[in-house]
Amino acid sequence: MPASRAGVPDEPEAGSDGHDGTAPVPNAGAGGIAGIPRRVTPPFIRVDSPTEARNPRTVEIDRLPTLEVLHLINDEDQQVARAVRAALPKVAAAVDLAVRALQEGRRIHYVGAGTSGRLAVLDAAELPPTFAVPHEWFVTHAAGGPAAFLRAIEGAEDDEEAGAREMIESVQAGDVVMGLAASGRTPYVVGALRASRARGAATVFVTANPAASLGTEVDVFVPVDTGPEVVAGSTRMKAGTAQKLVLNAFSTAVMVRIGRTYSNLMVDLMATNAKLRGRMLEILAEATGKDEHTCAQALREADGELKTALVAVLGQVSSERARSALRHAHGHVHVALAEVGRA
């Protein structure tokens, strides 16, 4: 199965026709909707995870007025950032693994199903335009493939062998593979992480289940204890929000550590439209304190390379000298400026 940029929901979804032996239910009762097929497919798996527990704070949610429902949801959301903060030492260890891997010419892989897969796709897709990284640096693998991004592919997350096969086809020794599974047991993710480790990749596991048994099998275990969801088992909520925070923090920290920012400015962005070209000019002006005309001229001389223009202006050197210094500094602006300052 090729690398993909899509995912499937955490819970299996009913099919849309009867071609697989499932017949539509004209008048479905509890648990079904008229016109939508319903299936019963053994075996049944009981998921032992805090995300599946019933939240005692929200048991009356279906009897409350709208604003109180929203207050309850927001109250639960307040817990997410604290849970992520408690896991930051583990996230830092994952960042260091990823930085080392990229510096050695390796890749970062995200693996997930459902909400986890979709969030991984979003994070990876936004890195190239923000930090000008090659698309192949961050690879996403999601249960069900691209077709499942907008519509569920039933059973995909339960296919441990599919996760393993995809890693065998894609992962190399020295890569970093980050698996995401709110419950801590998604077979597709479990298979992927085990196969990746067997191939010599470093493995990271992010989950909302601190007791997940897979945590003992990976190099970095990142448990983010968000507790029971507002609606039991709906891990697109707190657990999903926690994964979004972890992914954003992880990838942004990696970019900072490999020199893709100068201070807190995006100096490696790709100016692919008029808005971004304007932002590039604003960033150069902000970083150097120079007027717009001077910055525009510096960008022209640097062939539109913001970092090169930045080092040229701050270091008072030519674009060619600035570009050479950045190359020797592996893209770190501060290091390049120190080099031209010694010249």
Catalytic residue numbers read 126, 157
Report how far apart, in Å, the C-alpha atoms of 313 and of each of 14, 111, 262, 274, 299 are: 60, 42, 14, 23, 10
Report how far apart, in Å, the C-alpha atoms of 165 and of each of 31, 41, 108, 170 are: 34, 24, 17, 9
Length of the chain: 343
Report how far apart, in Å, the C-alpha atoms of 287 and of each of 28, 191, 269, 282 are: 62, 46, 14, 9
Return the closest-CA partner of residue 115 out of 197, 207, 226: 207
CA–CA gap between residue 119 and residue 296 (Å, rounded): 37
CA–CA gap between residue 93 and residue 213 (Å, rounded): 20
109: helix, strand or coil: strand
The DSSP call for residue 208 is S
